[in-house]
């Protein structure tokens, strides 16, 4: 079993046990933490760098560099 398969199964089990409102709360809190830690900085016309608010250091990926869904 791969790490991603184990994560998927764990997420499904958490959903079964705690319900969709709990999963929504987890997502909301994760987004809040992300926005506290990082800001977006324009890169060209169609992309943004993700920049650490404290250090000013750019992450290695850009917003469009993250692949949210497989093609």
One digit per residue, the tens of pLDDT, for the chain of length 71 reads 999 999 999 999 999 999 999 999 999 999 999 999 999 999 888 888 889 999 999 987 777 776 554 44
Residue 67 lies in a domain: no
pLDDT given at position 70 = 47
As for how many domains the chain has, the answer is 1
For residue 69, being part of any structural domain is answered with no
Whether 47 maps to a domain, the answer reads yes
Residue at 24 is within a domain = yes
Helix (H) and strand (E) counts in the chain: 2, 3
Q: Which domain holds residue 27?
A: 3-62
The predicted structure's pLDDT at residue 6? 96
How far is the CA of 61 from the CAs of 4, 28, 40, 51, in angstroms? 20, 22, 12, 10
The span from the CA of 71 to the CA of 57, in Å, is 29
The sheet carrying 38-43 orders its strands as 38-43, 47-52, 58-62
Residue 55 inside a domain? The answer is yes
């Amino acid at each position: 079993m791969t790490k991603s398969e184990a994560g998927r199964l764990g997420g499904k089990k958490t959903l079964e046990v705690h319900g969709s409102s709990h999963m929504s709360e987890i997502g909301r809190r994760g987004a809040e933490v992300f926005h506290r830690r990082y800001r977006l900085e324009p890169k060209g016309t169609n992309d943004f760098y993700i920049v650490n608010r404290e250090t000013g250091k750019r992450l290695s990926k850009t917003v469009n560099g993250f692949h949210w869904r497989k093609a």
